[in-house]
Chains A and B, each alone.
Chain A
Amino acid sequence: MKALRPERVVLVGSSTMTEEIGMTHPDLFRGIQENMAGFKGTVRVVDIDDPTPIEGDLAVIALPPDESLTWAGKCGEAGVSAIIQITGGFTAVQRATYNGHIERYGFRLLGPNSIMGYLDTGIGLITAFNEGIAPAKGPSSFIVQSGGVGAAVLDTAISEGCGISRFAFVGDKIDIDDEDLLMDLLEDPETKAIGMYVEGVKDGRSFVETASKVSAVKPIVALKGGISKEGARRARSHTASVSGSDDIFDIALKEAGIIRVPSIQSLIHTSVALANQPPLEGRRIAIVSNVGGPAILGADAVVRAGLKMARPVEETVEQVTSKYPGVEMINPIDLIADADGERYKHVLKAVLADETVDGVIVINQMKSCFFSPGDVDGILEALKGSSKPVVDVIPGGTDFRTLRGRFIEAGIPAYTDPSHAVEALEALHSYSLVLKGEYA
């Protein structure tokens, strides 16, 4: 959507106005101005207490509803092609007035009640107001319906080192909706995977159709929120009485090729995997670990997820045991606590070349083992150019933070818990089914 890729941005707000209940506040207005400092085009600030002429392609409005409508009209007159309406609280009548402006002036509207607006790291467009909200550039993009969940997703993405291309807060979506944004992300060369938070969609069938087009090219994961109205139907049949609205939403997402996840954390975890790793074509997983217990937890999670533990072929076993007789080649493969980068490299190369292995979980624990940050090199060298998906686990917390960056830089998703790694592989397998047309 060209409207969301402006060269000139105009920020419309007030340096004095505060709402009794609402987001309009001088601090919010100032916060947006500060975050827009890195924008690649020009930024103008129009303070309605002492207004200057509106000149821009995209206007960001952070005012109470009545004032917003007045200024949206002025922005329309000035020929903006898009408005991001940060603030909310619009009544049905006020929304209708906004729609009238859209019809009259032909601009596109994101919001109202968008709260955090829109982020495009490629052009430094950040209309959110909090400090420290700028994510690193990267291959994941998000479309979120709730400011609150969206902000949590964004903060998690920043803290987990998940690089972002675009991040849209759709708000009340009276104009720009999920479908518009999905089609936009389909065209974005930076976006490799899309994460969504949805509560409802405008037109169910149309949404499924559009999302199907996008998911055939780029993976989509979604977290669904909203109270499911179980039994709200006046059911007279068994079919309707056992079917909750969430069951139907669930199958609609599946038919759209969208992979559903249960939590904010899962949304980030899976989208990082989908953005960086190839689809998991089969179900056979090998676990290569320097520690026993976490590897067993991983194997349990593999089976629980409906994946299988691979059985390496004789040739692979031979290749490993001829050099490392102490390594027992029973999957999960225990490299023993003294494994260094060299041992990881040798074993991983053999395992990745094994045709009976579809995907790999690497576990490298630091505490209780002799693994040091330098050993990461050996792992990354073995994984270079692998056509099979690989995810890494650094069990723990502080050790995870020590090593994570190295893996993320190399495009290897890293997790603290083996079950998170399995969840990521599960999503990668789901996406292979989406691509084959066998997910629903």
Chain B
Amino acid sequence: MTGHKPRPVLHEADAHALLKEYRIPVARTVLAKTAADASRLFSELGGGPVVLKISSPDILHKTDVGGVRTMVRTADDAADAFEGIVASVKRLAPKAEIEGVTVQPHVERGVEVIVGGLRDPQFGPVVMFGLGGVWIELFKDVSYRLAPTTTDKAKRMMMEIRASPVLKRFRGGEPVDIDTLARIIVSVSELMAARDDIMEIDVNPIFARRDGAIAVDVKVIGRAVE
């Protein structure tokens, strides 16, 4: 923190804590400040494959600045990945404040969806649902409801997007866990309705599978302070 000017972007740990408060399932995420931290955390997380991601309130598109390494399989690789990420971000986004690098157990992938929240100047808090990952900005295949919303409306939101067949026929024709996704939508909408100090939220991506859905990344933007 620079101290005199509060940043509107919540730190990753605070954002994760906020999600947990609203019972939104999010993958366990720990922050490494150094390469040594990264290899130690790799072991603490059980030694399975992990994902390392840049943690910076200034970076919206982590992959664009080389800020993500997936399927990291050893403690040494974790340390290398840490160095690689920090070097890349310093080169591609020299002004970005770097908090460190998060280490997260590898989560089984599923259909990538986004649940978002925003505050409209005319209509107040709104919740958004769409296909996540790289497709969101390209296709803008999203649906909305005023927040807070209900489970029924959340389910209709999912069926409104053009890509909704993907949700009904995920791998081998089985549907993804619509109930859990609906709960996440309702929770984000409740969060937006209750916390007027929060302007924007991206819970993105959420991996939705046959049973369960889990968020692996989250961004929370607070109200700008003059």
| A-B interaction | yes
Check B126 for interface membership: any CB of A closer than 8 A: yes
CB-contact partner of B126 in A200, A243, A438, under 8 A: A243
Interface segment among A123-131, A188-196, A244-252, A398-406: the answer is A244-252
Check B8 for interface membership: any CB of A closer than 8 A: yes
Interchain residue pairs with CB less than 8 A apart (12): A201-B122, A233-B118, A236-B60, A236-B200, A237-B201, A238-B60, A240-B116, A242-B128, A243-B144, A248-B123, A252-B146, A440-B153
CB-contact partner of B122 in A235, A239, A241, A249, under 8 A: A249
Check A255 for interface membership: any CB of B closer than 8 A: yes
Q: Is the CB of B144 within 8 A of A238?
A: no
* Interface mask (B122-164 → A, CB under 8 Å = 1, otherwise 0): 1110101010000011001011111000001100100000000
CB-contact partner of B221 in A205, A208, A236, A242, under 8 A: A236
A248 to B122, CA, bound (A): 9
**From residue 82 to 121 of chain B, which have CB atoms closer than 8 A to chain A?**
114, 116-118, 120-121
A245 to B152, CA, bound (A): 24
Check B37 for interface membership: any CB of A closer than 8 A: no
Q: Is the CB of A236 within 8 A of B144?
A: no
A234 to B148, CA, bound (A): 23
Beta-carbon nearest neighbor of A239 in chain B:
B116
Check A41 for interface membership: any CB of B closer than 8 A: no
Q: Is the CB of B122 within 8 A of A242?
A: no
Q: Is the CB of A239 within 8 A of B124?
A: no
Chain B nearest CB: distance from A390 CB in Å?
29
A245 to B123, CA, bound (A): 10
**From residue 168 to 226 of chain B, which have CB atoms closer than 8 A to chain A?**
199-202, 204, 219, 221
Check B9 for interface membership: any CB of A closer than 8 A: yes
Once A237-B221, A239-B114 are accepted as A-B contacts, the answer to whether A248 and B201 lie under 8 Å apart by CB is: no
Q: Give the interface SS of chain A, mostly helix, strand, loop or mixed.
A: helix
Measured as residues with beta carbon below 8 angstroms from the partner, the interface class of chain A is: 20 to 34
Q: Give the interface SS of chain B, mostly helix, strand, loop or mixed.
A: strand
B60: which A residues are within 8 A, CB to CB? 236-238
On A, residues with C-beta under 8 Å from B are 200-201, 204-205, 208, 233, 235-243, 245, 247-252, 255, 438, 440
Once A237-B116, A238-B202, A239-B118 are accepted as A-B contacts, the answer to whether A440 and B145 lie under 8 Å apart by CB is: yes
B122: which A residues are within 8 A, CB to CB? 200-201, 204, 245, 248-249, 252
List 4 A-B pairs, minimum CB-CB distance, nearest first. A239-B116, A204-B123, A237-B200, A251-B144
Q: Is the CB of A248 within 8 A of B144?
A: yes
A241: which B residues are within 8 A, CB to CB? 137
Once A251-B126, A255-B146 are accepted as A-B contacts, the answer to whether A237 and B137 lie under 8 Å apart by CB is: no
A247 to B140, CA, bound (A): 11
**Residue picked from A233, A240, A243, most chain B C-beta under 10 Å:** A240
Q: Is the CB of A242 within 8 A of B124?
A: no
B137: which A residues are within 8 A, CB to CB? 238, 241-242
Beta-carbon nearest neighbor of A203 in chain B:
B122
Q: Is the CB of B136 within 8 A of A237?
A: no
Q: Is the CB of B120 within 8 A of A248?
A: yes
Q: Is the CB of B202 within 8 A of A242?
A: no
A233 to B199, CA, bound (A): 11
Q: Is the CB of A239 within 8 A of B201?
A: yes
CB-contact partner of A238 in B116, B126, B153, under 8 A: B116
Measured as residues with beta carbon below 8 angstroms from the partner, the interface class of chain B is: 20 to 34
Beta-carbon nearest neighbor of A439 in chain B:
B156
A208: which B residues are within 8 A, CB to CB? 123, 146
A217 to B117, CA, bound (A): 31
Q: Is the CB of A237 within 8 A of B118?
A: yes
A247: which B residues are within 8 A, CB to CB? 142, 144
Chain B nearest CB: distance from A298 CB in Å?
25
Beta-carbon nearest neighbor of B132 in chain A:
A238
Q: Is the CB of A236 within 8 A of B9?
A: yes
B114: which A residues are within 8 A, CB to CB? 238-239
B128: which A residues are within 8 A, CB to CB? 239, 242-243
**From residue 9 to 31 of chain B, which have CB atoms closer than 8 A to chain A?**
9
CB-contact partner of A205 in B123, B143, B145, B200, under 8 A: B123
Beta-carbon nearest neighbor of B133 in chain A:
A238
A201 to B144, CA, bound (A): 19
A237 to B118, CA, bound (A): 9
Beta-carbon nearest neighbor of A234 in chain B:
B224
Q: Is the CB of A438 within 8 A of B156?
A: yes
Beta-carbon nearest neighbor of B58 in chain A:
A236
A250: which B residues are within 8 A, CB to CB? 144
Beta-carbon nearest neighbor of A252 in chain B:
B123
Once A238-B116, A251-B145 are accepted as A-B contacts, the answer to whether A204 and B202 lie under 8 Å apart by CB is: no
A438: which B residues are within 8 A, CB to CB? 152, 156
A247 to B157, CA, bound (A): 13
Beta-carbon nearest neighbor of A250 in chain B:
B144
Q: List 15 additional contacts besides A204-B123, A238-B137, A248-B126; criterion CB under 8 Å.
A: A208-B146, A239-B201, A240-B118, A243-B126, A243-B128, A245-B120, A245-B122, A247-B144, A248-B120, A249-B123, A250-B144, A251-B126, A252-B122, A252-B123, A440-B156
Beta-carbon nearest neighbor of B142 in chain A:
A242
Q: Is the CB of A239 within 8 A of B156?
A: no
A233: which B residues are within 8 A, CB to CB? 118
Chain A nearest CB: distance from B82 CB in Å?
25
Chain A nearest CB: distance from B93 CB in Å?
14
* Interface mask (B60-87 → A, CB under 8 Å = 1, otherwise 0): 1000000000000000000000000000
B202: which A residues are within 8 A, CB to CB? 237-239
A247 to B145, CA, bound (A): 10
A399 to B144, CA, bound (A): 44
